[in-house]
Copies of this chain bind each other. A is one copy, B any other.
Amino acid sequence: MLRDVDLDRALKRRVFAEDLPALRRRLAELHWHAAQASIPSLVVFEGLDGSGKGESIRLLTERLDARGFKVHPIGPPAREDGGRPWLQRFWQRIPRRGVLAIFDRSWYGRLLGERIERVVARTEWERGPRDIQAFERALVDDGALLVKLWLHIGKKEQRRRLRALERDPVERFRIAKGVWRRHARYDDWVDAADEMIELTSSARAPWTVIEANDPHFAWRKMYDVLISAFEERLAAERARAAPRARRARAAPHAAAGGDALAERRESRRTARLADVDLSVALARARYEKLLAKQQARLLPAVREMQRRGLAVIVALEGWDASGKGGAIRRLTQPLDPRGYEVHAIGAPAGDDRDHHYLWRFWRRLPAAGQLGVFDRTWYGRVLVERVEGFCGREAWSRAYLEIPEFERQLVDAGLVLVKFWMHISPEEQLRRFRERAKDPLKGWKLTPDDWRNRRKWSVYFDAADEMLARTHSTFAPWTIVEADDKYHARVKVLEKTVDAIEKAL
């Protein structure tokens, strides 16, 4: 398809120059409105060497307010990016709401240079389109505007430009290493780009090919594409805002979440959680013996994991007062504090609040050889956020697509992921709440929220049950921990964690 592009299209410099002020003004205006509407936006520039990405970005940003955009020049992956999902460095760069992120090259390097120059194995780049689709879908569904531009030039034009650059003492440095080698393989690059565009164009995230042999034509088209993309997105925002406001008056989000759960309760009572045998327990002496045994297994496993650069995530979900904290302490107690990090996940604050909800976890992934423990996790989206109506039905339903994709990418990158649901009975919870209430310390150990959540036990139960059913996969299985007995629970968390690490080694 790129071979059919009419590269002779051109625009007179004078015509472009005449229109430029109006185009700039319009785009700056739209940029401002998008910022006011808290819309995050991403513009991706891809194209062969010499296709004019840098020049176009300079032109584009010249009149935009510097507080409202950020340019991300993307180089080849660094060694320290290894062992984590390859998209992590892009997830970390997604814009905060209201900000425009401009990518000078992007995640598409995976399907271009990294593929052609065999930086990654075939199995890795073949997974690229799927990973990219999930990434882009997550952003767009979250309200981001995404524009992807391929600046296309012919082989002759590329040669002409590279030669001109070489002759210019100021510009010469732009001739990156290997540029002539890449030029010689022009056809391979175009084939790869063609395939890339075909595999990663979707209604949500379409590619626009820009005929770039003539820069003025290319710039004009760039402005036109961006202006209409922003206009459409802002129109959609206005359209969405209106009925949403009406709906909100009619019925709050919480009701929507509740209704869905009520339906579910009717339709299926297969509740895997109902079958959990909460009577299992350990005597103290046996507990101490087993704990010591598992901790002794943990140490060499963790040391070996560090040696090999294996990253491990232990994710704990469960009822309030189900003993997550205690289990985590038994897990981390014997470890060198520099080898692990515990992330306690409460309501999002600061930068976490201003980004896609998964961003918070992407930026906290453990590095190679490190253990990351999450005290509550990304599943908050389909538990508390769903039940309490902190996000709409559409958002938490989407999470059922996004979360398995997220976990698959972790596992594909070689991370070990262990997920626990700490399960207790409502009676045991009440006993623990009362014990805490006797304690003069109020504060975070027992808040009104806890009692409120407790009153909604059956709604939470169904939400959790659905979550366990829908996110239990071969690559990221759940372990249900019978936690009415703390001793049993702690030993089980420790044992299953060590099992998972040993298996991965």
A residues sitting closer than 8 Å to B (CB atoms) are: 25, 28-29, 31-33, 35, 54, 57-58, 62, 65-68, 71, 73, 75, 96, 104, 169-171, 173-174, 292, 295-296, 299, 303, 325, 328-329, 333-334, 336-338, 342, 344-346, 349-351, 353-354, 375, 439-445
Task: List chain B residues, Cβ under 8 A from A334.
Answer: 170-171
Q: Given A350-B350, A351-B351 in contact, is the A25-B338 Cβ separation under 8 Å?
A: no
Are A28's CB and B445's CB within 8 A?
Answer: yes
Are A443's CB and B29's CB within 8 A?
Answer: yes
Are B295's CB and A170's CB within 8 A?
Answer: yes
Task: List chain B residues, Cβ under 8 A from A28.
Answer: 441, 443, 445
Complex CA distance for A71 and B344, rounded to whole angstroms: 12
Pairs across A and B, CB under 8 Å, 16 listed: A25-B439, A25-B441, A32-B442, A65-B443, A66-B328, A67-B344, A67-B345, A67-B444, A68-B344, A71-B337, A75-B338, A96-B350, A169-B296, A170-B292, A170-B334, A350-B351
Are A29's CB and B296's CB within 8 A?
Answer: no
Are A445's CB and B350's CB within 8 A?
Answer: no
> What is the count of identical protomers in the complex?
2
Complex CA distance for A471 and B174, rounded to whole angstroms: 38
Q: Which residue of B lies closest to A80 (CB)?
A: B80
Q: Which residue of B lies closest to A74 (CB)?
A: B338
Q: Given A66-B344, A336-B174 in contact, is the A32-B441 Cβ separation under 8 Å?
A: yes
**Main secondary structure on chain A at its contact with chain B?**
helix
- Among candidates B62, B344, B346, residue contacting A329 with C-beta atoms closer than 8 Å: B62
Task: List chain B residues, Cβ under 8 A from A173.
Answer: 299, 303, 336
Task: List chain B residues, Cβ under 8 A from A32.
Answer: 441-444
Complex CA distance for A65 and B440, rounded to whole angstroms: 15
- Interface-centre pick from A292, A334, A441 (highest chain B CB count, 10 A): A441
Complex CA distance for A28 and B73, rounded to whole angstroms: 46
Task: List chain B residues, Cβ under 8 A from A354.
Answer: 349-350
Task: List chain B residues, Cβ under 8 A from A295.
Answer: 170
Are A342's CB and B66's CB within 8 A?
Answer: yes
Are B441's CB and A325's CB within 8 A?
Answer: no
Nearest Cβ on chain B to A169's Cβ, whole angstroms? 7
Are A29's CB and B440's CB within 8 A?
Answer: yes
Task: List chain B residues, Cβ under 8 A from A54.
Answer: 337
Are B337's CB and A104's CB within 8 A?
Answer: yes
Task: List chain B residues, Cβ under 8 A from A170.
Answer: 292, 295-296, 299, 334
- Among candidates B66, B296, B333, residue contacting A58 with C-beta atoms closer than 8 Å: B333
Q: Which residue of B lies closest to A375 (CB)?
A: B66
